[in-house]
Structure 1
Amino acid sequence: MSASPNDLDPTLRSDNLRMVGKLVVIAALMFGFGYALVPMYRAICNALGINVLSVAERKVPGNAPKAQNTQVDTSRIVTIEFDANVRGPWEFKSEKRSIDVHPGEMATVMYEFKNVQNRAMAAQAIPSYAPRRAMAHFNKLECFCFNEYLLQPGESKQWPVVFIVDPKLPRDVRTITLSYTFFEVGGKTPPEPNL
């Protein structure tokens, strides 16, 4: 036979009520601590100077320190020369003959291509480097040489080459020549129109 709540020993009942009261107080304290944690965290960080960067940025708008790439070797300059060769009746050239870069610095150069034929053509560029040992230190991030292209008659395109010269490039290498040969890809070219 089960006992009803009224049949419990009065001391047991008072102990249970005290325990429930303590648990309610503990739950309220935990909620209050969680609610106060964010302002306390901000106050402690400001007092200890842990959050200095964001505080400085808020105090002087527009005058935040600019991030610098520490991987750029500003102690030397490498000249990059650009050469463009074609195998066929079309036009292909770089927008600049050469540029000077610091090793580790990202640079972009545009190349222009024009199909001067009266037919569509599929083409691709193949790069080469001089001196040959510079190839391992010339990192292309974006290059038209990664893909084949279909160009319509008279169509012109501009493509970027985005690159970084590795700071580990030997110090005696002061000039790198990047040469592209643009050629027609066989088997994918539409036939010439009959005139």
Structure 2
Amino acid sequence: MNPALDPPATTVRPQARSNQRVVAVMLTVVVGSLLFVSVQPRVYRAFCEWTGLYDIDRAERVAASSIPARPVTLEFDANTHEGGLIFRPQTTSLVARTGEIVHVVYRIENTRDRTVIGQAIPSYGPQYAGGYVKKLDCFCFKQQTFAPHEIREMPVVFLLDKSLPEDANTVTLSYTFFEVPAGSSNAPATLAESGK
């Protein structure tokens, strides 16, 4: 062995330590990325279940049901408890098949010179049909704040469960907007969330 050709031990060790650090950092990044990717769907699913919004899995389960789809006439109605809001559906009636995702839009106008906070409460005809309306998105999930003279279009996205009883050939989805006093978290919010 020629000592002149061998690198000094002091230069090899720092190089080896530096390489080990790089490998450790890279392994940490890879393991962290794999953990993030594996946890992300569960976090997203938990968020959707917590908020009740965009529950696509529920829609797919209903749509994939072995019960055959059938046509049902859907009627839409709108009412207000106070006179300051003009509230109506853009479509008053349509025919949809059970298991099919339906998008409808309601229009509301605040005719007052002041801000109005409102909460929409749903009701159904026949009443038992409410248990078969699976909402994916709805303005009724939370209180709405309307600026003076604001006009807003608000969507409802839902489907009818295929297990809807055969005698229900027409289902009416009706909303009543109640004005909520500012700073109040009244019962209508709870009723709307539990009303599907």
Interval containing the TM-score (normalised by the shorter chain): 0.5 to 0.7
2-structure distance, mates of 1:157, 1:151: 8
Contact 2:121–2:176, Cα closer than 8 Å, also in 1? yes
Amino acid of the structure 2 residue aligned with 1:158: E
Matched, 1:152 2:147: yes
Pairwise CA RMSD = 1.8
Q: Do structure 1's residue 131 and structure 2's residue 126 form an aligned pair? A: yes
Distance 1:104 1:72, change over 3 A: farther
- State the number of aligned residues: 121
Which secondary structure does the structure 2 equivalent of 1:168 belong to? coil
- 2:178 maps to what in 1? 183
Matches within 5 A, 1:51-90: 70-71=64-65, 76-88=70-82, 89-90=84-85
TM-score by length of 2: 0.58
Q: Which amino acid aligns with 2:159?
A: I
Q: For residues 26-71 of structure 1, give each alpha carbon's deviation from its aligned partner in whole angstroms, at most 9, with x where no partner exists.
A: xxxxxxxxxxxxxxxxxxxxxxxxxxxxxxxxxxxxxxxxxxx644
TM-score, structure 1 as length reference: 0.58
| CA shift digits 1:74-102 (9 cap, x unpaired) | 65211110000012222101000011111
Name 1:114's counterpart in structure 2. 109
What percentage of aligned pairs have identical amino acids? 41
Whole-angstrom CA distance in 2 between matches of 1:116 and 1:83: 20
Contact 1:115–1:152 under 8 Å retained in 2? yes
**Counterpart of 2:102 in structure 1: which amino acid?**
A
Q: Which residue of 2 aligns with 1:23?
A: none
More helix by share: 2
Q: Residues 73, 98 of structure 1: CA spacing in aligned structure 2 closer, same or farther, 3 A cutoff?
A: farther
3-state secondary structure, aligned to 1:133: helix
Which runs of 5 or more structure 1 residues have no equivalent in the other structure? 1-68, 190-195
Matched letter for residue 148 of structure 1: Q
Aligned partners of 1:72 and 1:102 also within 8 Å: no
Q: Distance in 1 between matches of 2:105 and 2:113?
A: 25
Aligned residue among 149, 162, 170 for 1:167: 162
